[in-house]
Amino acid sequence: MPTFDRSIAAILLILVASLPACQSAARRESVSGLTQNVTDQYLELREQMVETQIESRGISDDSVVLAMRRVPRHLFVPEDLIDQAYEDTPLPIGFGQTISQPYIVALMTESLKIKPGQRILEIGTGSGYQAAILAEMSVDVYTIEVIPELAAQAADQLNNLGYTNIHTLTADGYFGWEEYAPFDAIIVTAAPDHLPQPLANQLGEGGRLVIPIGPVGFTQTLWLFEEEDGELSATNLGGVRFVPLTGEH
């Protein structure tokens, strides 16, 4: 009998210890009005997205792939577009903004070569999806959105999903977030027509900056800038099309 009691106690301790993780997982996979069956459907769609859109196109960083598998993209699109959340395309999120195509999110994230514990600056919070992907990689995310309504919506959603390592700011992203600079990496999800000097200045030693640059309404070029000894080298990552970077600049 004493052995039986100890076994029961051990089982109870394991169950109690697992509750926070279970609750966290449930919170990250829940959305108002959706049933568990629908959530399971999205899990399958997310796996298909990763296999057919991400891995098949050469994204191989395990931490990026895992983050793309974890983050429920359907929670970051308008309700009337939820059925399209895992398709191979950007989607409108209101105010003339979009959530980027999944592959582009993965490509830009992988290009940063993120390591746990780093400090990452994101310009253009949008719906908050890119910030969530970054946060899943065990880094501190500082994200800026110039449109107050989008900034508030994204902050609420990220908070509801339990992300404590994401810091949000409503401001003109062109000028970065000098208070927390330097950053190990910077990602810009809207296109200016030149590299903003404040962002270049806030990139730390050995840092990496990914940004689309080009004219509004036309194909832009996705650039990777790498800092070394005070100099920036540039690598062309290909043609893309982003909404313009807006603000006082």
Which CATH number do you get for residue 116?
A: 3.40.50.150
Give me the pLDDT at residue 103, please.
98
Is residue 77 within 8 Å of residue 98, measured between CB atoms? no
* 205 and 139 fall within a common domain: yes
Whether the full predicted model's pTM is greater than 0.75, yes or no, is yes
Domain count, the chain: 2
Residue 249, domain member (yes or no): no
**CA dist., res. 220 & res. 154, Å (int):** 26
Is residue 176 within 8 Å of residue 111, measured between CB atoms? no
> What is the span of the domain harbouring residue 4?
1-30
Q: Which amino acid is at 246?
A: T
**CA dist., res. 151 & res. 96, Å (int):** 14
Residue 160, domain member (yes or no): yes
Phi, psi (degrees; rounded to nearest 5) at 236: -80, 120
Give me the pLDDT at residue 39, please.
55
* 82 and 8 fall within a common domain: no
For residue 156 the two structure tokens come to 């609420």
Residue 159, domain member (yes or no): yes
Question: In angstroms, what CA-CA distances link 8 with 1, 18, 22, 70, 194?
Answer: 11, 16, 20, 33, 65
* 155 and 79 fall within a common domain: yes
Give me the pLDDT at residue 119, please.
98
* 1 and 98 fall within a common domain: no
* 85 and 14 fall within a common domain: no
Give the active site residues: 100
Is residue 118 within 8 Å of residue 142, measured between CB atoms? no
* 65 and 22 fall within a common domain: no
**CA dist., res. 73 & res. 70, Å (int):** 9
* 97 and 1 fall within a common domain: no
Helix (H, G, I), strand (E, B) or coil at 83: helix
* 25 and 113 fall within a common domain: no
Partners of 183 in beta bridges: 203
Give me the pLDDT at residue 249, please.
67
Give me the pLDDT at residue 64, please.
98
Give me the pLDDT at residue 31, please.
39
Q: Divide the 249 residues of the chain into consecutive groups of 10 and give the mean pLDDT of each group.
A: 39 37 38 44 94 98 97 96 97 97 98 98 98 98 98 97 97 98 98 97 98 91 95 96 87
Residue 245, domain member (yes or no): no
